[in-house]
Amino acid sequence: MRAEDKVRENRLRRVADRRGLRLHKCRRRDPLAVGYDGYMLAWKDGTAYAGEDPPYSLTMDDVERWLNRVDS
């Protein structure tokens, strides 16, 4: 992961936390696995909010759009 991507991911984690959400990243290491390098947003109680069907189906751009939607 590039440094710019990690900075963006950390920023999105902080934004999600302020909105009462948690940003989860798929931990799979196999590039052919479902959800590889994907993200999911969940409420702090663990209930899925976005990216749960299929699991970890969001990209960083998708996460940013979802977080902007929560804001409005």
Query: Residue 26's pLDDT is what?
Result: 92
Query: Residue 47's pLDDT is what?
Result: 92
Spatial distance between the Cα atoms of 61 and 67, rounded to a whole number of angstroms:
10
How many helices and strands, by DSSP H and E, does the chain display?
A: 2, 3
| Domain count across the chain | 1
Q: What is the pLDDT of residues 22-69, one digit of tens each?
A: 999 999 889 888 888 899 999 999 899 998 888 899 999 999 999 998
Spatial distance between the Cα atoms of 16 and 1, rounded to a whole number of angstroms:
20
Query: Residue 71's pLDDT is what?
Result: 57
**Domain housing 9:** 3-71
Q: Which of 45, 41, 44, 47 is nearest to 69 (CA)?
A: 41
Residues 6+ apart with CB under 8 A from 64: 12
